C-alpha cells in the first residue's frame, strides 16, 4: 500500500474522532481556549482534558479499523465480479466523471475488454452539380461512458469524413448494442482515418425506387433502393424503444441477400420516455416490418433520382440540452415525383412524440415522408440531473427553435436537388471492445460501490460517535 493511500485512509478515518475530541474537550473545560495562569492551572487543564484524549485515541482506532474494513470488503467482493482492483477502478471512474481524465479508466477497461469486429459501410451520393453526401452505417455502439471510447464517435466520424472528402455526412444509430463499445481512443482515430480513406466514389449512375413504408404491430419500417443497396429504417415510435437486437439486422441482411441486395439498416432510436429494452415480440415485429418494406421496395420500378443535402451545427443547443456536436443533417431524395427526407440529429434517443411532430412539420417543405433518427451519442450522458441521466432530443429545450432549424435545413437541402449517382464501400476492423457482460458488471458494480461506501461511512460515523459517548461516560 502506498504512503499516499495510507495518508488518505488516515485522513478519512480521523475526521469524526477529531470532531468528537474537540467537542468533548470543550465540554470538559469551556475555557480550554483561554490562557491559564500558573502551573497549577495548566496541570488541572491537562487532567480535565485526559478523557477527551482517551476518547480521541479509542475513536480513532475504531474509525481506522472501519475504513480499512470497508475498503477491503469492497475489494474482496468486487475482484471476482469485475476481474480488477475494485477501488482502483472506482477511483478511475471518479477521475473520468469529475475531472475529465479518461486515460487511466481507458487503460483499465482495455484490460477487461475483448476483440470485436467492427464493420463500417458507406452509402455515398453525388449530384451532377457537384454535391457530395453520404450515410455511414456501423455496428459500433456509442459508449461505454460519456466521452470515453466511442461515446462521441458519431460526430467524430461525421466531422472527419466531411473534412477529408468535402461531403455532407450523417451517421444514424446502426443496429448495435453495448457489446461493441470501442474502448481505445487510438482505435477510434484508426477507424475514423480508415473511413476517410475508404470513402467510396459515387460514380455509379444507378437508378432508385420510391420510399416504401410498412407496419407490423408496433413496428414501422421504411425501405428505399439505390442500385443494389436497400436503405432501411426501423422504429417503434410512438412507444418507447431502445437498442434494436442484432438478430433483427441479421434477418434483414439474409432477406436482402436472397433478393440480390445489400441491406443497410438504421435503428431510428427516436422514441423514449422510460428506460426500456426491446423484447422478443417487438424484435419480431421490427424484423417483419423490415422484410415487408424490403419486399415491397424490390417490386417497385426504378428510375433516375435527385439528391439534396444540408446540415446545421445547432450551436444554440448544448450537451446539457441533449444535442451533440454533430448537430443536424438531412438527406433529401426525390424519385418519381416523391420527395422524402432522412433526418439525423446528434442526440441520444428522442422525446416520445417529438418524431411525429418533426415529420408533420417538414410536410410544409414539400416532403411527403421520411424518417427522423438520432445517433445515440453518449456525449450527452451524465451532464444533467434527470431520470435518464440525459435529455432525449426534444426534452427540456426550445422545441420551437429546433423545429425551425429542421425546416430550414430541409428547405436548404431541397433547394439544391441534383440528379444523383451512388457509390458503396465497406470495411471491417478488429478493435478492443467492452462486451455487454463486462459493461453490465462494471456499471452495476461501480454504482453499487458508490451507494455502499456512502451507507457504510454513515454507519461508521454513527458507531464512532456512540463508542465515544460510551467511553466518555465510563471515564
The per-residue pLDDT for range 206-263, each reduced to its tens digit, is 899 999 999 999 999 999 999 999 999 999 999 999 999 999 999 999 999 999 999 9
246 & 123 share domain: yes
Q: What is the mean pLDDT of residues 409-420?
A: 96
Is residue 86 situated within a structural domain? Answer: yes
Is 109 part of any domain? no
Higher pLDDT, 61 or 285: 285
Tens digits of per-residue pLDDT, 98-141? Answer: 777 777 777 777 777 789 999 999 999 999 999 999 999 999 99
pLDDT of residue 466: 77
Determine the 3-state secondary structure of 123 from DSSP.
Answer: strand
- Do 52 and 179 share a domain, yes or no? no
* Residue 90 domain-assigned (yes or no): yes
**Please, which pLDDT band fits residue 4 given cuts at 50, 70 and 90?**
very low
The reply to whether 444 falls in a domain is no
Question: Could you tell me which of 268, 174, 172, 261 has the C-alpha nearest to residue 225?
Answer: 261
Asked if residue 10 belongs to a domain, the reply is: yes
Give 345's strand partners: 328, 374
Residue with the larger pLDDT of the pair 386 and 207: 207
pLDDT band at 309 (very low <50, low <70, confident <90, very high): very high
| Structural domain boundaries, residue 58 | 3-102+450-474
Strand pairing class (338-345; 219-226): unpaired
Strands of 212-216's sheet in order across: 212-216, 219-226, 229-235, 262-267
Q: What is the pLDDT of residue 80?
A: 55
pLDDT digits (tens, 9 = 90+) for 166-184: 999 999 999 998 889 998 8
Per the domain annotation, does 94 fall within a domain?
A: yes
Q: Are residues 287 and 364 in the same domain?
A: yes
More confident site: 373 or 383 = 373
Mean pLDDT of the chain: 85
Q: 70 and 135: one domain? A: no
87/213 same-domain check: no
Helix or strand run (H / E) with residue 257: helix 246-258
Note the pLDDT of residue 242.
Answer: 93
Residue 143 vs residue 222, higher pLDDT: 222
* Per-residue confidence (pLDDT) for residue 462, from 0 to 100: 75
Considering the domain architecture, whether residues 254 and 301 belong to the same structural domain is answered as yes
C-alpha cell at 411: 428547405
pTM of the model: 0.79
125 in the same domain as 96: no
Spatial contact of 141 and 431, defined as CB atoms under 8 Å apart: no
Say what the pLDDT of residue 7 is: 55
Same domain, 176 and 325: yes
> Are 135 and 93 part of one and the same domain?
no
| Long-range contact set of residues 395-402: C-beta below 8 Å, sequence gap at least 24 | 395/322, 395/351, 396/321, 396/322, 397/317, 397/321, 397/322, 397/323, 398/316, 399/354, 399/357, 401/316, 402/314, 402/317
Report yes or no: 272 and 242 within 8 Å, Cβ to Cβ. yes
The reply to whether 221 and 82 lie within a common domain is no
- Based on the fold, state whether residues 78 and 223 are members of the same structural domain: no
Helix (H/G/I), strand (E/B), else coil: 442: helix
> Residue 150 domain-assigned?
yes
Question: Total domain count for the chain?
Answer: 2
Verify that 344 and 401 share a domain, yes or no: yes
On whether residue 439 sits in a domain, the answer given is no
Name the more confident of 107 and 185. Answer: 185
User: Does residue 379 carry a pLDDT above 60?
Assistant: yes
Amino acid at each position: 500500500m502506498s504512503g499516499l493511500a495510507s495518508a488518505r485512509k488516515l485522513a478519512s478515518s480521523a475526521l469524526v474522532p477529531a470532531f468528537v475530541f474537540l467537542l468533548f474537550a470543550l465540554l470538559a473545560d469551556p475555557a480550554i481556549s483561554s490562557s491559564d495562569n500558573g502551573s497549577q492551572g495548566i496541570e488541572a487543564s491537562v487532567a480535565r482534558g485526559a478523557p477527551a484524549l482517551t476518547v480521541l485515541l479509542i475513536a480513532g482506532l475504531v474509525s481506522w479499523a472501519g475504513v480499512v474494513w470497508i475498503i477491503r470488503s469492497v475489494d474482496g467482493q468486487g475482484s471476482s465480479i469485475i476481474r480488477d482492483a475494485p477501488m482502483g477502478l472506482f477511483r478511475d471512474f471518479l477521475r473520468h466523471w469529475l475531472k475529465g481524465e479518461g486515460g487511466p479508466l481507458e487503460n483499465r477497461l482495455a484490460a477487461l475488454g475483448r476483440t470485436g469486429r467492427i464493420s463500417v459501410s458507406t452509402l455515398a451520393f453525388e449530384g451532377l452539380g457537384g454535391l457530395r453526401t453520404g450515410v455511414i452505417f456501423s455496428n459500433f455502439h456509442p459508449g461505454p461512458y460519456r466521452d470515453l471510447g466511442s461515446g462521441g464517435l458519431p460526430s467524430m466520424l461525421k466531422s472527419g469524413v466531411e473534412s477529408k472528402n468535402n461531403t455532407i455526412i450523417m451517421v444514424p444509430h446502426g443496429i448495435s448494442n453495448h457489446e461493441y463499445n470501442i474502448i481505445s481512443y487510438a482505435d477510434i482515430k484508426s477507424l475514423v482515418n480508415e473511413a476517410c480513406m475508404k470513402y467510396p466514389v459515387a460514380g455509379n449512375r444507378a437508378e432508385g425506387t420510391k420510399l416504401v413504408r410498412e407496419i407490423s404491430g408496433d413496428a414501422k419500417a421504411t425501405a428505399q433502393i439505390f442500385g443494389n443497396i436497400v436503405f432501411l429504417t426501423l422504429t417503434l415510435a410512438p412507444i418507447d424503444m431502445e437498442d434494436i437486437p442484432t438478430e433483427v439486422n441479421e434477418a434483414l441482411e439474409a432477406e436482402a441477400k436472397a433478393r440480390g441486395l445489400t441491406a443497410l439498416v438504421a435503428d431510428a432510436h427516436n422514441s423514449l420516455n422510460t428506460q426500456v429494452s426491446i423484447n422478443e415480440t417487438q424484435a419480431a415485429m421490427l424484423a417483419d416490418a423490415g422484410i415487408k418494406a424490403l419486399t415491397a421496395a424490390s417490386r417497385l420500378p426504378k428510375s433516375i433520382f435527385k439528391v439534396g443535402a444540408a446540415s446545421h451545427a445547432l450551436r444554440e443547443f448544448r450537451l446539457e440540452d441533449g444535442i451533440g456536436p454533430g448537430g443536424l443533417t438531412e438527406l433529401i431524395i426525390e424519385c418519381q415525383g416523391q420527395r422524402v427526407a432522412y433526418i439525423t440529429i446528434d442526440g441520444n434517443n428522442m422525446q416520445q412524440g417529438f418524431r411525429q411532430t418533426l415529420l408533420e412539420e417538414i410536410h410544409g417543405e414539400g416532403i411527403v415522408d421520411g424518417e427522423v433518427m438520432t445517433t445515440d451519442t453518449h456525449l450527452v450522458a451524465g451532464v444533467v440531473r434527470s431520470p435518464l441521466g440525459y435529455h432525449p432530443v426534444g426534452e427540456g429545450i426550445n422545441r420551437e427553435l429546433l423545429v425551425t432549424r429542421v425546416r430550414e435545413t430541409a428547405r436548404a437541402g431541397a433547394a439544391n436537388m441534383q440528379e444523383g449517382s451512388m457509390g458503396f464501400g465497406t470495411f471491417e476492423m478488429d478493435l478492443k471492445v467492452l462486451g455487454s457482460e463486462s459493461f453490465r458488471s462494471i456499471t452495476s458494480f461501480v454504482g453499487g460501490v458508490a451507494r455502499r461506501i456512502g451507507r457504510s461511512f454513515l454507519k461508521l460515523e454513527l458507531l464512532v460517535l456512540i463508542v465515544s459517548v460510551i467511553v466518555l461516560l465510563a471515564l
